[in-house]
Structure 1
């Protein structure tokens, strides 16, 4: 990050020597935070105090909303959670003028082994949840990769994993939501109880009410994932294999691909197993000294291309679920360029990764402007048969690698995401995170062209990042029929919350 204009010495240090700040301050603070969170969550869950306190905490949310009503409903509502604590790089400046409602709901409430569900409060993280379920031999059917992603963010936004070609998006494994509405009432909803609200909540971004709990499906878990790495040297063959694996009648439990150039990449397929087989080695990628996963995959690609054979490894289940956490996919290489060095991993790997919230909190304005001008963080969801064309366009407009490919089954259910025909349709999430190298890249115009392609090809844009669509374009991409109906039916809802577009469009949300 050189040649960036800074306003003072402190900002200059934060920009030019950001890695020093991360190593000296953010990594130790992140470690202490993780230790405290683990101990606190273990104690609360073990003593079963969370379910007893849940009603009281929900009542507190209700009381805050009722105070807003008494005050005349002159402002919009939002959660009081600071934007620096969220995983999104977007800055919610609207919070400065909205009434902030404190939603301190951070606990796993109960695990129902009979019905194979877990009930969680919205600020429960994926790391917290997988740690809680692992000793019980359970796991979520869909476990989005990053430890710090929350249940609430994944419900109100979206979440995806390499098991999504079987189970769908995170919203599809949720069976019930509890919300505090804009009139101060508490309501539960499911496909059988208040179904319109149930199907309208996903992708609503907190514009229908405050989520206070969710019931989520779990599945039996085994100790390891047997993972196969299949290297490819051209996009067509890779896309064909990726599609084939995703659409099999009896598919592997996990399917994923990484592209390292437009024509080179690796398709990975995996299944849970209880023991390490003789056809591959045990690779504990979650160890502090282990190399970042995406760099290991790149080496497997090179080796596989040389030998012409697929590689097999056995990875501990929880390590696999959170395989992209330690490097935040590949974003950390731009902050700590030597972070994958053996000496660094050996001495500091146990502190990785820094909390995203702390990275955001200490991010100077100059770096924020740089990210806005010369950094892409986008996930685009397109039908599987448009994968090749989409990658070609991403290469032309962004040229950011690696590219993450994750298949998912989109069910034909009420809500904002519609399939063109049948009970379901296979899509692929194309994730692009990094510094664009495409000639002539401009953040807004380049993203706008990609958004236009996605919309015209019956796809969707994940909304945790900036969207540059007009309101009309946004409504063409997402079906608002049910959403509008629900907002009209809920008392004070339109007074309390902006439309989704007002929270995700870069210009409007200001």
Structure 2
């Protein structure tokens, strides 16, 4: 990991796009630039619209374009970004700490399902300083009924897919969940030994597709829909983030994650009788 000097601000460029093709092409173009972008992300607001953001740290700003987005009375970041679909391209300077926590106040966009009026200006000015509530507190205070409702009517998944399959992936996510916004976050997957590596023999650009919220797809059902998403991700040689609910069986899990080095180390260090496998830790049925 390369350590770089921090600067006071981040210069953010907002680029709205209004077709799926232009979104995928522009996003890939910005991600694959050899230099010039320290941060890239995209918020997808519908099947055809999104806002691509590139960002770079800087100490020099235009005073009239500084936006302290982390202040308690400010609009939630994802709602602020959505406005650029109508306003058009723009540039802002955000304080570095505010930028790093740009999704914190609204817990990405999950808070709109917990406090539907949370982005109302009156609420923000009077009570915005109280949010976000701590996730641990929410889990502590929710009963079994609310917990079951969340499991049934909410999706929280991050799927990692190759950049070349991004367009098809967005189509699948729309068909299966129709959850918006979607969060697109690129990362380079290096060809190194381990459970997660490209299917090819070279480094490859991947995209994390984050789906958080209430699905609007009529066919959505937690287990069967997640199973179909998992099957698609396996078919494109992608991966599932294991903090989320996983419904892979053991063979499917081994298909998605390369266990060759993992199994070799478990055998050489005599771990098999002492520690459970990763699958036994992340799969609810295996833990039961």
Matched position secondary structure for 2:184? strand
* TM-score (normalised: structure 2): 0.97
Partner of 2:4: 219
Partner Cα distance (1:421, 1:334) in 2 = 40
What's the CA shift for 1:494? 2.5
Question: Is 1:502 the counterpart of 2:280 in the alignment?
Answer: yes
Partner Cα distance (1:494, 1:345) in 2 = 53
1:153-302 mapped onto 2 (5 Å cutoff): 173=1, 218-277=3-62, 281-302=65-86
Give the RMSD, CA atoms, in angstroms: 1.2
Partner of 1:392: 171
Residue-by-residue CA offset, 1:249-285 (whole Å, 9 max, x unaligned): 224111000011010110001110002136x610001
Where does structure 1 differ by over 4 angstroms across 4 or more consecutive aligned residues?
none
Which of 312, 322, 336 is residue 115 of structure 2 equivalent to?
336
Matched position secondary structure for 1:440? coil
* TM-score (normalised: structure 1): 0.55
Matched position secondary structure for 1:413? coil
Question: Given that residues 179 and 214 in structure 2 are in contact (C-alpha distance below 8 angstroms), is that contact kept between their aligned partners in structure 1?
Answer: yes
Question: Is 1:470 the counterpart of 2:255 in the alignment?
Answer: no
Partner Cα distance (2:32, 2:68) in 1 = 29
Long gaps (5+) in structure 1: 1-172, 174-216, 305-309
Long gaps (5+) in structure 2: none
Which of 262, 275, 279 is residue 483 of structure 1 equivalent to?
262
Partner Cα distance (2:100, 2:70) in 1 = 10
Partner of 1:436: 215
Partner Cα distance (2:261, 2:6) in 1 = 36
Matched position secondary structure for 1:236? helix
Partner Cα distance (1:506, 1:404) in 2 = 26
What's the CA shift for 1:288? 1.1
What's the CA shift for 1:472? 0.4
1:138-153 mapped onto 2 (5 Å cutoff): none
Q: Mark the structure with the bigger radius of gyration.
A: 1
Partner Cα distance (2:198, 2:128) in 1 = 43
Question: Is 1:461 the counterpart of 2:246 in the alignment?
Answer: no
